[in-house]
Amino acid sequence: MPVLRGVGLALAAGEQVALIGASGAGKTTLLSALALMQAPLAGRLQLDGRDPWALQRRERQRLRATLALAPQQPPLPPRQRVAVAVLAARLPGMSLARSLRTLWSPPDAPLAQAALEQLDLPDKLWLRVDRLSGGERQRVGLARLLVSEARLWLADEPLAALDPTRAERALAALQRNAQERGAALVCSLHQVDLALKHFPRVIALRAGRVVYDGAPTGIDGDLLDELYRSQHDAPPEVAPLPQPVPLPQAMCR
Ligand SMILES: Nc1ncnc2c1ncn2[C@@H]1O[C@H](COP(=O)(O)OP(=O)(O)OP(=O)(O)O)[C@@H](O)[C@H]1O
């Protein structure tokens, strides 16, 4: 069954877009489609004027190297050092020899360190990934975007595991770096306040359809109610709990 229906979007180079919508609205599915993780069942997707799914596999891989996706839970190898995990984002553009060196003894470690510092992780470079907290791991996933050479950065709930202060700082780092590098940024967010405050364009999804695409100033309380209202019209009837059954004395000791 299709998850997204009738989605029509165009994204310009260097544009910054927040994707909002209730859980299950289709945000991750849209990001995966943009990251070429899955082909659309119908319709057309074009990157740089080309249909990636009509290209030869090798050419599609080359196109994929221009995209970087930070999933909600970055799949980082647990025993890998943070430096290697971050710099792995640059592997698609590297020669085989440099890739092997990066995996063994990363020559670009200062680049990874600079990205980690911007994300409040100044002292984790040589730690193993499985020693990190959930929020730290999520920021390592974002550091991968910061060092990548992609022109389209896709971040799926990048702030989900972060406290409010780190969330603001991480979002600022993402937006600043994307702007400096001329990369487009599409970021799905459950923090609607941050989406409306920091992004010039907001796309709202409901049940797989785009219900708003424009400036944050056009989003009002009614639209937010519609977006986050349950998909079911009325709350389900909840059966009353059975009366407590008194336990025999012997079971209470
Ligand atoms: N591979 C799949 N097969 C079947 N259904 C799927 C698949 N992937 C996603 N879905 C369904 O599509 C809908 C949208 O999922 P998606 O992960 O895109 O939502 P989301 O907006 O990112 O939600 P959340 O905010 O909870 O991460 C959900 O109902 C989900 O169950």
Task: Count Cβ neighbours within 10 Å for each residue of 212-241 and write b for 16 or more, e otherwise.
Answer: bbeebeebeeeeeeebbeeeeeeeeeeeee
Residue 29: phi and psi, rounded to 5, are -65, -40
Give distance in angstroms: CA of 117 to centre of ligand 1.
Answer: 33
So where are the chain's domains? 16-229
Provide the β-strand partners of residue 206. Answer: 209
Give the H/E segment covering residue 139: helix 134-147
For the Cβ of 26 lying below 6 angstroms from any atom of ligand 1, the answer is: yes
**Long-range CB contacts for residues 112-118, cutoff 8 Å, separation at least 24:** 112/82, 112/83, 112/86, 112/87, 112/143, 112/147, 113/83, 115/86, 115/143, 115/146, 115/147, 116/82, 116/86, 116/140, 116/143, 118/143, 118/146, 118/173, 118/177
For the Cβ of 29 lying below 6 angstroms from any atom of ligand 1, the answer is: yes
For the Cβ of 191 lying below 6 angstroms from any atom of ligand 1, the answer is: no
Q: Give the number of other Cβ atoms within 10 Å of residue 50's Cβ.
A: 13
For the Cβ of 3 lying below 6 angstroms from any atom of ligand 1, the answer is: yes
Q: What is the pLDDT of residue 252?
A: 45
Give distance in angstroms: CA of 200 to centre of ligand 1.
Answer: 26
List C-alpha distances in Å: 240 to 46, 235, 237, 244. Answer: 53, 15, 9, 12
DSSP assignment of 44-102 equals: ---BTTB-GGGS-HHHHHHHHTTEEEE-SS----TTSBHHHHHHGGGGGGS-HHHHHHH
Its ipTM equals 0.92
Residue 103: phi and psi, rounded to 5, are -75, -30
For the Cβ of 21 lying below 6 angstroms from any atom of ligand 1, the answer is: yes
Ligand 1 pocket test: pick from 1, 4, 23, 29 the residue with the most ligand atoms within 8 Å of its Cβ.
Answer: 29
Give distance in angstroms: CA of 76 to centre of ligand 1.
Answer: 22
CA dihedral 116, 121, 126, 131 (to 10 degrees): -130
Q: What tens-digit pLDDT sequence spans the chain (253 residues)?
A: 777 887 888 899 999 999 999 999 999 999 999 999 888 888 888 888 889 898 898 888 888 889 999 998 888 888 889 999 999 888 776 666 667 766 666 778 899 999 999 999 999 999 999 999 999 999 999 999 999 989 999 999 999 888 999 999 999 999 999 999 999 999 999 999 999 999 999 999 998 999 999 999 999 999 999 889 875 554 455 555 566 655 555 554 4
Counting atoms of ligand 1 from 1, which one is nearest the CA of 30?
Answer: 18
Name the closest-CA residue to atom 6, ligand 1: 3
Name the closest-CA residue to atom 26, ligand 1: 23
The tokens describing 209, both together, are 């359809």
Q: pTM for this structure?
A: 0.85
Name the closest-CA residue to atom 10, ligand 1: 3
Q: Give the number of other Cβ atoms within 10 Å of residue 247's Cβ.
A: 8
Distance CA 198, CA 146 (A): 18
CATH code for the structural domain at 16-229: 3.40.50.300
Name the closest-CA residue to atom 12, ligand 1: 3
Counting atoms of ligand 1 from 1, which one is nearest the CA of 21?
Answer: 21
Name the closest-CA residue to atom 1, ligand 1: 29
Closest CA to 203 of 6, 9, 2: 9
The tokens describing 23, both together, are 């859980």
Name the closest-CA residue to atom 19, ligand 1: 24
Provide the β-strand partners of residue 50. Answer: 47
